[in-house]
Amino acid sequence: MNKKVAIERVLELRDLIDRANEAYYQEAMPFISDRAFDEALSELRELEESFDLGTEDSPTLRVGGKPSESFVTVEHPQPMLSLDNTYNEKELRDFDKRVRDRLGDQPFTYSVEMKFDGASIRLRYEDGQLIVGATRGDGERGDDITENLKTLKDIPLRVDEVVLKSLFLEIDSDWDDDEEDEDNRNPSFVFEVRGEAYMEKEAFVRLNDFREEQGLPPFANPRNSTAGTLKMQDPREVARRPIRFFGFDLIVEGRPSPPTQIEKLKRIGDLGFPVNPDYRLCRSVDEVLDVISEWDLSRHSLPFETDGAVIKVNEQHYRAELGTTSKSPRWAIAYKFQAEQATTLLEGITLQVGRLGSITPVAELKPVTLAGTVVKRASLHNEDEIHRKDIRVGDLVTVEKAGDIIPQVMSVVDADREERGKPFQMPLNCPACGEELVKLDEEVKWRCINPECPPQIRERLTHFASRDAMDIEGLGEAVVSQLVDHGLVHTFADLYQLSAEDVEPLERMGKKSSKNLIEAIEKSCTQPFQRVLFALGIRFVGKTVARDLAFHFRSMDALLEASEEDLCAVPSIGPKIAGSLTAYFDHQKHHKTLEALREAGLQFEMPDQTGRDSERLGSGDDESETGYRWFLEGKTFVLTGTLPTLSRNDAIDLIERYGGRTSSSVSKKTDYVLAGDKAGSKLAKALKLDVPVLDEETFLEMIQNQVGTT
């Protein structure tokens, strides 16, 4: 392979891995097996090293996915690293050899724990009180999902003080609760428990049965349902889901940690957290392999999904000596059970259209039983992957289904037979709407960019109506599907032509629900310009980019006239985003939709320097003239805790309306911290750095006073 070919393959692998990370961590809808993901990552790492193609943003240097934009981002005090994976005895023995080479003759043991198929989280406690619960995110930062995690019955909100003091005293024999100095008169017990949130198999089946009864799409597997549940915006909905938790790591701040992993697991249990009792202490790699063989046979009878075993050097004091890479610890590794495979006939290849128009080839298979279910379809990923594996209709193919996710075609069994079918050729037009397909940037996937393409309409409308976009209450997936199926809505603008009489005949609607929905649609016309931009669902344009575009260009007309060079003048906009914006605005059908939305009354520009603005300020006088001033321009706010009357989105809207911006972390550059009930470490850091702290009342008074003086 020459360097040119290597560069092309590296770009292809990075695109695949980035999309797989986004599907796994952000959307909880993976399309590739763990094994295939690891193989792609390994191939990418090898190519980067062999041809000196490594970059700072390569997925080989990242743990997982970027934190979601739907939650506040928190930094992990200690990184939440991922584990390297092994799939056979040789690879595990290689790991054992590396450990022994580094430790020399020093005696050590291994702890062996089941690898749960769920979502990794961390729980931070201060003086026994749960302060922060977060996802792993990218390993350095994750999503703050504390309120959601508080609904999990397995997670204690408070640890008994007597138990806490007893354990801290046993861990650190030099610590004395009776010391007279101020620090020990008011001791601070700070620790973190890290573990896995998961869903049991039977509960998962019941949840999917319920979703199907409600006309909702079923989850692909327990892991997806768990990840999706933890990212829900309403903790009350999370509480209705049967999420469980197992702890597997304990970090004590400011005092020694328990001396071994086995001791950590016991301490986690003593603190009141569930711990899977089936962990083992092994004195050799042969004992480890015996345990793995035992669990591989028994795993299907467990009430939860497990896809392997986690092997760790048991003794804590060796971990610093063994160290870590940028991504994984050298003192631990995961052994993944072999995925189940089957052989069957590839009867055809069809094309599936995604939300943003990506075209995914799908294998239509002769039905075959795999991992306990009948498989009829499997992912083929993209055109290049089909050609690389030389997959053709009529081939006998190997199909793999790891962790109950979407099956995929791994290879062709009879590639050397005579009279094979013709090589696959991607059509020039979209199979759903007939629009010409395009390739954007250096992507390997073809896309349909027609905004009226039927398979895309449902997902686009759902995004348009979502909480962070137009926030249309009552317009969820089920209602959107009915509106599209009944031919009532084809574009965003069609929503604003609906009447209560149009909606009332739909299932589960009725007069009151129909009236409420139409009122919610009409109310959405008041959403600010930056939300309208985000709601359009333009590729790469998230909430932050939409806000920056709105504040820079001030109106839709100015944005439509902007060149790629003009767009790149915005600090947060690079060539990739600029190209996506120009491609979107160059499409004639998008122009028609935008004009229809303008006529419907949506906000297509930022407010003038003077004008009316009494909303949310409590003036009580809708007719009063209030001045408008960008008095928060250049000011950075950090939000923490729960405000008495304003939701987080309401507070952010007010800050941005008057020219300010929000950040997820407190630093010396922070201008204000807006704090509510149960404010945690951010408030403490603000006080330490002398950053001004506002409560909701003071914040609203500040805005009212400034607006009223103009």
Q: Report the residue count for the chain.
A: 710
In sequence order, what E strands does 264-395 have?
280-282, 306-313, 332-336, 340-353, 359-370, 373-379
Phi, psi of 614 (to 5 degrees): -115, 0
Phi, psi of 248 (to 5 degrees): -140, -5
Residue 621 CA to residue 624 CA, distance in Å, equals 6
The residues, ordered by sequence, that sit 6+ positions from 144 with a Cβ below 8 Å of its Cβ are: 71, 72, 73, 74, 132, 133, 134
Phi, psi of 687 (to 5 degrees): -65, -40
Range 554-562, long-range pairs (CB < 8 A, 24+ positions): 554/605, 554/606, 555/529, 555/604, 555/605, 555/606, 556/529, 556/532, 556/594, 556/598, 556/604, 556/605, 557/604, 557/605, 559/533, 559/585, 560/585, 560/594
Phi, psi of 479 (to 5 degrees): -70, -40
Place of tokens 């791994």: 410
The residues, ordered by sequence, that sit 6+ positions from 485 with a Cβ below 8 Å of its Cβ are: none
Closest by CA position to 371, among listed 421, 332, 323, 337: 337
At 535, which amino acid appears?
Answer: A
- Residue-wise burial string across 50-75, b where 16 or more C-beta atoms lie within 10 A, e elsewhere: ebebeeeebbbebbbbbbbeebbbbe
**CA-to-CA dists, residue 495 to 498, 535, 592, 593, angstroms:** 6, 13, 15, 11
Q: Is 376 a catalytic residue?
A: no
85-86 sheet: strands from edge to edge: 85-86, 332-336, 306-313, 110-116, 280-282
Phi, psi of 150 (to 5 degrees): -65, -20
Question: What are the beta bridge partners of residue 123?
Answer: 133, 193
Catalytic residue among 66, 90, 115, 389: 115
Residue 352 CA to residue 415 CA, distance in Å, equals 25
- CA-CA-CA-CA dihedral for 381, 387, 392, 395, to nearest 10: -90
- What is the CB-side half-sphere exposure of residue 143 using CA atoms within 13 A? 24
Residue 488 CA to residue 503 CA, distance in Å, equals 9
Contact criterion met (CB below 8 Å) for 424 and 349: yes
Angle at CA of residue 116, ends 113 and 119, nearest 5°: 130
The rounded Cα 189 to chain-centroid distance in angstroms is 31
Helix 3-21 vs helix 34-51: crossing angle, to nearest 10: 140
At 205, which amino acid appears?
Answer: V
**CA-to-CA dists, residue 459 to 28, 58, 581, angstroms:** 15, 29, 19
Which residues are the active-site residues? 115
